């Protein structure tokens, strides 16, 4: 399994043709206390860059974009009951949704962990 990162602070785990998407630990730290996550319905299809989810922190609502194109096959229902999971475990249990990848070539421009760490350090 490979993990990719975007400059919008999302992570993507790829296993076969399924991509699991979440926001990074850096992103949750920036957002602060998360009180609600609006997730896409199963079957929704996204083009890369579409609005895919909304994270509501105490202070603001923030959009999460689809990092690649695909069809939603599962959303993380655990976040409905416990949105703070994104704060406590952003890069594992706090995942947002799983996509069936439409175009694997879109992964090519994304960062690996080392590149993302460097990117965050530069902010």
**How many C-beta atoms surround the C-beta of residue 21 within 10 A?**
26
Q: What is the rounded distance in angstroms from the CA atom of residue 66 to the CA atom of residue 63?
A: 10
Binding of other proteins at residue 50 (CB under 8 A)?
no
CB of 32 to other proteins, least distance (A): 6
CB of 17 to other proteins, least distance (A): 26
Span near other proteins by CB under 8 A; candidates 14-22, 28-36, 68-76, 102-110: 28-36
**How many C-beta atoms surround the C-beta of residue 88 within 10 A?**
12
Instruction: Determine phi and psi for 85, rounding to 5 degrees.
Output: -55, -30
Span near other proteins by CB under 8 A; candidates 34-42, 66-74, 95-103, 113-121: 34-42
Please give the residues from 59 up to 118 whose contact with other proteins meets the rule CB under 8 A. 59-64, 83
- Of 2, 17, 36, 88, which lies in the binding site for other proteins, with binding defined by CB under 8 A? 36
Q: What is the rounded distance in angstroms from the CA atom of residue 30 to the CA atom of residue 73?
A: 28
- Of 8, 17, 42, 47, which lies in the binding site for other proteins, with binding defined by CB under 8 A? 8
Return left, alpha or beta for 32; rule: phi > 0 is left, psi -120 to 50 is alpha, else beta. left
> How deeply is 73 buried, as exposed, middle or buried, from its count of CB atoms within 10 A (0-12, 13-18, 19+)?
middle
CB of 122 to other proteins, least distance (A): 16
Q: Which residues bind other proteins (CB under 8 A)?
A: 8-10, 23, 27, 30-33, 35-36, 38, 54-64, 83
């Amino acid at each position: 399994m490979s993990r990719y990162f975007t400059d919008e602070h999302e992570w993507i785990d790829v296993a076969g043709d399924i991509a699991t998407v979440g926001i990074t630990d850096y992103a949750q730290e920036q957002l602060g206390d998360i009180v609600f996550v609006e997730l896409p319905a199963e079957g929704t299809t996204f083009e890369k860059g579409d609005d895919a989810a909304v994270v509501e922190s105490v202070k603001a609502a923030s959009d999460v974009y689809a990092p690649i194109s695909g069809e939603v096959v599962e959303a993380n229902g655990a976040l409905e009951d416990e949105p703070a999971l994104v704060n406590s475990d952003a890069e594992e249990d706090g995942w947002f949704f799983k996509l069936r990848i439409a175009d694997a070539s879109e992964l090519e421009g994304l960062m690996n962990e080392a590149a993302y760490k460097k990117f965050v350090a530069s902010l």
